[in-house]
Structure 1
Amino acid sequence: MIDDPLATNDEQLRADIDALAERYGSGARASEIAAARGEFDERRGRVFDDDELFTLHMSLFLEWYCLERSLSGSGRTPVLDRLASGADLDAESHARHLRLACSQRGLFEVTRSDAERETVVVHDLVRGAMFRLEGVVGVEAGEVFEGRVMPDAGRVILGPVVLFHPREARERIAALVTAAPPAQRESLEIVDRIAEMRLRYGRFRNIAVHHIYA
C-alpha cells in the first residue's frame, strides 16, 4: 500500500492541474479558491499541517477544484473553461486537458494485479463498473483506494493522486457504500465521508479500524 500521491502514468497531468489551480485560484479568483477550500474541508474534514495526509489532502483539493467544482459566473469547471478558452493550447496539451475533463472519481477495490504487465483490474464500489488500468505499479489485490480513472488513447489509466484506505477496512467500506442512499453515491458524498474516516484513522492509530470506519 502506498500512502503518498501515486504517480502512475503521466507527471505532466499533475503539472496541468497545478497550472489550472494557479490560473483559476489567484488574482480575482483568490477568494473563490479560498471559499472552495472551506467547502472541501466541510465535505471531507479539516486537515492541519501536522496531519500525515496534509499534502495528499491538498493535492486532492486542487484536483477537485479544477476538475469537479463549477466556477461562479461561467458555471464551468476550471478544466472545461480552459478548454473553451484555450486557443493557446497545443494539440498535446489540449488532449491532456480533455483527458482530465473526462475523468471520473471513484472508490475502487483492486480485484486483480499483474505486476509484470503493470496493470490492475478494479471494481468501482460506488457505480459498480469494472476497469482494467494500465501503468499502475505497487498495488495489490484487496487494496481499496479513492482515485480518478480517465481515458487515454483506447486504454484507461489512473490519475496522479490516489488516497489508499487501510486494507482491513475493506469490508466496512463496502458495507458503508452499499448502505448509502442513491443520492450520496451519485454526488460522491459517501466517498468524501469515507475519506474523512481515513483522516481520523491517521490521527488515531490506537483505535480499531472498525470503530473508525463506522
Structure 2
Amino acid sequence: MNVYVNRITGIDDAIVSMFMSKRSWTRELEEDIRRTCFIVLDPITGAVADDIDADKERWNKFVGWMDSLMKWGPIHITMLRFINLSITVEGLHRGGQDDWDAHAQRYNNRIIRSSTRLARFGNEMSDFYKGKIMPTDMALEKLGISLPDEFECDGDTWKKVINGYARKDLAENNDVLRGLYMLSIPSNFVFNVNLTEWAHVYKERNQNGRANPEVKECAEAIADQLEKAVPWFTRDLFLAIKN
C-alpha cells in the first residue's frame, strides 16, 4: 500500500480567519499573509518550502501566525476547516476501503474509489494479506489440481472465472463477477478532507484504535506525510482538535 498527500491548500485562508472575529483584520494584513504564504509554501504541494531561510522576516511572520493558529484552531475548529487536504491511497484492501468509506461525510462525500463493477480484478490482494491467506484458485494451482473450465448443473452451463464459477451466459457480466471478489483485493482511491474532519478520522483509525491493521497503517502513513509537509500538523494536534 502506498499513500500520497498530493496537496495542502487553505493555510492562508485559515490564518486570515484568525483576525476576523475581533476586527483586527485589514486588507493590508490579509495581502501580507497571502504573500508570505506564497513565499513560504511550495506552490504545487502546499508544503513548507525547503528554502525557507531565504526570507527570514517572512518565515518569522509565518511561524508566529501558525503557532497562533495551532493554539486557537483546535478550539475554534471552523478555522481549521479552511485547510484542505488532497490524498491518494494505492492498494488498501477492499474491506479496509469500506472502513475508510464509513467517514464519507467527513470528506463531504469527496471520495472516489476503484469500482468492482466498472473494472475487473484477478487473483490480487493487498500487501497486508500477501503471505497470510491463499484463495482457493491459488491453492489448487499450487497443489497441481485443475478444475474444469465448464460443467453442467441444474440445466445450466457454469464457466470458470476468478474465485469460482459463473453461469456461462453471465461470465462476462461485471455485476455478476463482482459477487466472487474477496475483501482482500487492493483498492485505490482519492479523497479530499479538511483538517478538522481529518482529525476525527485519525482519532478513529490510528494505531491506538481498534481498526484493521492495514487501515491503521494507512492513517499513520498519512499522518507522517502531513507532519513532514507542515511540521505543525502533528498527531498531538489531530488528537487535540475538538470535533
Which gives a bigger RCO, structure 1 or 2 (Cα 8 Å, sep 6+)?
Answer: 2
> Is the TM value for this pair above 0.5?
no
TM-score by length of structure 2 reads 0.26
Q: Which protein has the larger Cα radius of gyration, Structure 1 or Structure 2?
A: 2
